[in-house]
Amino acid sequence: MKFFVAGLVAVAGLLAAFGQTARAEVFVLVNGGRVEGEWLNRDEPKRQNYVVRLSSGGKLTLDNAQVKQVVEARPDELEYEKIRPQYPDTAEGQWKLAQWCLEHQLLAQRKTHLQRVIELSPDNVEARRALGYSKFDGEWMTQEEKMTKDGYIKYHGAWKTKQEIELIESKHKQDLAEKDWYQKIKRWRGWLGGGKDELARANITGISDPAAVKALATELHIDTEAPIRLLYIEGLTKIGTPEAADSLALDSIEDPVEEVRLTCLDHLVDMKNPKIIAGYVTYLRSKDNRYVNRAAVALGRMKDPSTIGPLIDALTTMHKFKVTTGDPGSMTTTFNKGPSGSGAGGGMGGMGFGAGGGGPKIMTVPMSNQSVLDALVTLTGQNFAYDARRWHTWYNAQKKSEVAGSGSRRD
């Protein structure tokens, strides 16, 4: 037995001679304390406790419930525990120990001693800067403290105001809700024409959640079957938000089927939405003559007097077409003479014929827009045909009369 003990002492001496240490662990306790030593019963099955050989030579038994975490100690950590008592509890002593920890990459321990330095010497510049402090208005603060004082909150690694966080989270919830509606509407679309057709129709036309607008608007724009698009129109109309109205307005112009366009328009007329009306006015300047006339139909239905001026300007509009010329004096074009559908007509105001042959050419053609004229007649009760000059003369006289009338009323 004496020989065995002597052998252990000899081995320990050899390890020390080569700068090595015996294996050790750090036992982090639930109460925040730490115990360092060799874990003796590591391999014991169904272990109820931790048996630890302390560096002092004694043993300690810790109940499982007392230990939060076991971390294997590095040699530098063991060395740190040995030398720590050698440094005095002064600002200078704790600074030196913090520097030793930095050299040995013991960053958590270094922070502890730097914090002790500023407790002992609050204006120690080196320790303050090492801990990330700067002076703001004469007060030492970390960047985190400064941002917190200014009302910012750390959110997913970035500093945000409370309002920004609320907006981000609201947007996230909105995105999730919108994705859910895409899935629902796709599922109901698949039911149409089958055993659940009636339920699908009731579900689509009964939607009232504004989060469904994007999904309905997308399907309204891409679905190839006009009767199904009419269902989506009913859903958007019931929701009735400005975003839903925007989608209806878009398809009241751009849908290829007249019934769909006019159904959208029927629902929009009673809204008297200035934004929608302004959108139709913008379409009066479209490069596509069909859209010009469809917008005029819509404005005629809206009966907003403020659109008279833009309508006069759109009586005749210029549009570019690709023209193919063959023999001298002959010509074919790749455009339709007018948009299809009720009240959507447009006419050619005149065209010159080229004398020579050649490939496709781009020609600018004036188009007289019947739907624009119809809208003007509806709004004004006047009819000066396509004579824009007479229309402007009449309109300017009307505006002067209105101004004069309002002035006399103020008197």
Mind listing the pLDDT tens digit of every residue in the chain (411 residues)? 443 333 333 333 333 333 344 568 888 899 988 888 888 888 888 888 999 988 777 899 999 999 998 888 778 887 888 899 999 999 999 999 999 999 999 999 999 999 999 999 999 999 999 999 999 988 999 989 999 999 999 999 999 999 999 999 999 999 999 999 999 999 999 999 999 999 999 999 999 999 999 999 999 999 999 999 999 999 999 999 999 999 999 999 999 999 999 999 999 998 778 999 999 999 999 999 999 999 999 999 999 999 999 999 999 999 988 877 655 554 444 444 333 333 445 554 433 333 345 567 889 999 999 999 999 999 999 999 999 999 999 999 998 887 776 655 554
Domains and CATH numbers, the chain: 21-73 (2.30.30.100), 80-150 (1.25.40)
Strand ranges of the sheet holding 34-39, from the earlier edge strand across to the other edge: 59-63, 49-54, 34-39, 25-29, 67-72
- With a CB cutoff of 8 Å and minimum separation 6, the contacts of 57 are none
d(CA 318, CA 128): 73
Rg (CA), the chain: 42
| Tokens standing for residue 116 | 């002790």
